[in-house]
A and B are shown apart, each in its own frame.
Chain A
Amino acid sequence: MTNQPLLDRQSIVVLALLAAVAILVPALNILAAPGSVLHVSDHLVPLFGKYICFALLALSVDLIWGFCGILSLGHGAFFALGGYAMGMYLMRQIGPRGVYSDPVLPDFMVFLNWKELPWFWHGFDWLPLAALMVLLVPGALAFIFGWFAFRSRVTGVYLSIITQAMTFALMLAFFRNDMGFGGNNGLTDFKDILGFPLQAASTRIGLFVLSVAALAGGYLLCRWVVSSKFGKVLVAVRDAESRTRFLGYRVEHYKLAVFTLSAMLAGVAGALYVPQVGIINPSEFAPANSIEVVIWVAVGGRGTLAGAILGALVVNAGKTWFTGVLPEFWLFALGGLFVFVTLLMPRGILGAAKDIWERSGRRLRPARVPEATAQAAE
């Protein structure tokens, strides 16, 4: 409001870097000679695309955790729901090319001896409707869940635990065959999207660029939200919920609004993720996934937006490297990261970097570690 114009220095850096990535990765994939150090091989493009989707998911978590103090341990659910909406579209696109060659029914339904398409599958062969559902389904779930939770002032760890229960319940539900989403195996064997084959390098590059664009758009949206007066109220809620209430703000409306928005962002991330990895199954709802997202945000530095993106990229790149080189040690590393960041680097990479910069730059007063951020001071 006062000292944060929409495009501050941080935003310009983030957008410039994202633009560079959106240009460089495809360029190095197409132009650099295979075998050269600079070449980005075909399988790396969707891998990077996956990271970008995770970064968007992390951004959505940072929006509510970093700015409003809502620690959701169930955001993987919104991500997965967005993914399923997209997966349903891709499933319908397969048409008669499935194993059972049924023109309408996806393979798993034929396998389960279903005679007709369940009602909620209708219309998903039309991308605009599927895209709308990518936003609406996670948004609606978040709205209903949040309406109950915030109205009755469930806060702190209680909220975290019930968000975890929510995603756990959804996971159990989606594992059931009769839910109509492919049960255990989920949705897979996708062929093409809008007629472009998913295996083609050009489609993958297109999806990658689209993901980066979505991330940039998501970043701008979040930046706009947090730098508006609305965003100031969110921070006020995070730091002193009662004070905000006694000033006349309906805290539950603010929480509900930002929670729903965040769920929609997570849904978009999931929708872009599915065509790039080629599968969506119930394990995406696993509570462990959602907690992992939180640590991406913590590693990068919560309440900074850019930190969420950075954290998602760093941790996932680390995961890829570890699982390739020392697969047994990945969980040790991840677990250690949780402990290390919470104990020693509570403001994440960006916060630590800022502290160092401030300390070396202008040594006026020692930088305060804001402990109050997590507790609602009364």
Chain B
Amino acid sequence: MTAPVTPALLYLDNVSVSFDGFRALNALSLAIDHAEMRAIIGPNGAGKTTMMDVITGKTRPNEGIALFEGSHDLTALDEAAIAELGIGRKFQTPTVFEMHSVEDNLLLALKEKRSPFATLLSRRTAQERERVDALLERVRLTSSRHRKAGELSHGQKQWLEIGMLLAQQPKLLLIDEPAAGMTDQETADTADLLRDIARTQSVVVVEHDMTFVRDLGVKVTCLHEGSVLAEGSLDAVSANERVVEVYLGR
């Protein structure tokens, strides 16, 4: 596949995944443009996490197409290769390297050569230091740079993880419930940060918190039982009868 099939950055078409007969994704189709931010909502079990697993190479779909930049077949690549293509993923529960310092967490995430040999011989450069400094500033962790990541608060860990994503310089960020467990102020700050990121990079945010989604003010996709139920502005989607039905369980 050399010629781009689609202008979209991320293109999923007719993707299905089943575990032991249970269909986690059912002919899901989705397209994300360059520098677009998209919010994904949907009740539990709608397939949000599985969709991220497919995009990042953790789960292989039973059928369907998953293309990145119109030419890379995501279904044929492993996690590491997909990460190198420029897709970063933040987990639902913040996952950072707890025994490493905040600074080391970011250094490990910096876009550098990833092979064992390269890391064994690597020396930290002034340029790397600058990039880490800038990242620390951006996620507001400069004062904690030497602390162990495990000692950070929940919200700080969320931000550190987003910082690590940014250090990868990805073209697409997949962010799973960034506002979970955050104070109102932190939630608002996170929305600002994501909007800022979306100026240059594409962002897909999975979120339950509707206030937060409203804050983002972007196009919303509602998933249900592994496929797209509705798509559009938040107001349009929440007015959709079927969405209401799914959420209120009528």
Contacts and interface: CB of A to CB of B under 8 A. Distances in A.
A–B touch (CB < 8 A): the answer is: yes
Interface of A: 1-3, 225, 228-230, 232-233, 235-236, 239-240, 242-251, 253-254, 257, 368, 370, 372-373, 377-378
Given A228-B119, A248-B84, A233 B108 contact: yes
Interface of B: 56, 58, 78-80, 83-84, 88-89, 91, 93, 95-101, 103-104, 107-109, 114-116, 119-122, 124, 146, 150-151, 164, 168
Contacts, number: 102
A370 B98 CA distance: 9
B79 A245 contact: yes
Contacts of B80: 245, 248-251
B126 to A, nearest CB: 14
Q: Give the 4 A-B CB pairs with smallest separation, nearest first.
A: A248-B83, A230-B120, A229-B119, A230-B119
Contact of A2 (B78, B104, B122): B104
Contact of B98 (A239, A246, A253, A378): A239
A147 B104 CA distance: 28
Contacts of B95: 240, 242-243, 377-378
A16 B108 CA distance: 33
Nearest to B86: A248
A239 B93 contact: no
A273 B163 CA distance: 49
21 contacts: A228-B120, A228-B122, A229-B120, A229-B122, A230-B120, A232-B100, A232-B107, A236-B100, A239-B98, A239-B99, A242-B79, A242-B91, A246-B56, A247-B108, A247-B168, A248-B80, A251-B80, A368-B151, A370-B98, A377-B93, A378-B93
A367 to B, nearest CB: 11
A232 B98 contact: no
A233 to B, nearest CB: 6
Contacts of A229: 107-108, 119-120, 122
Nearest to A255: B116
Contacts of A373: 99
A233 B119 CA distance: 8
A248 to B, nearest CB: 3
The residue among A228, A239, A370, A372 with the most chain B CB atoms within 10 A of its own CB is A239
Nearest to A368: B150
A243 B101 contact: no
Contacts of A253: 115-116
B239 to A, nearest CB: 36
Contacts of A251: 80
Contacts of B91: 242-243, 378
Nearest to A246: B89
Nearest to A224: B120
B101 A372 contact: no
A51 B58 CA distance: 45
A248 B108 contact: no
Contact of A246 (B83, B97, B115, B121): B83
B244 to A, nearest CB: 33
Given A236-B108, A248-B114, 9 more contacts: A1-B107, A3-B146, A239-B97, A239-B99, A240-B95, A246-B89, A370-B99, A377-B98, A378-B95
A305 to B, nearest CB: 15
B1 to A, nearest CB: 22
Given A229-B119, A370-B98, A246 B124 contact: no
B97 A236 contact: yes
A250 B104 contact: no
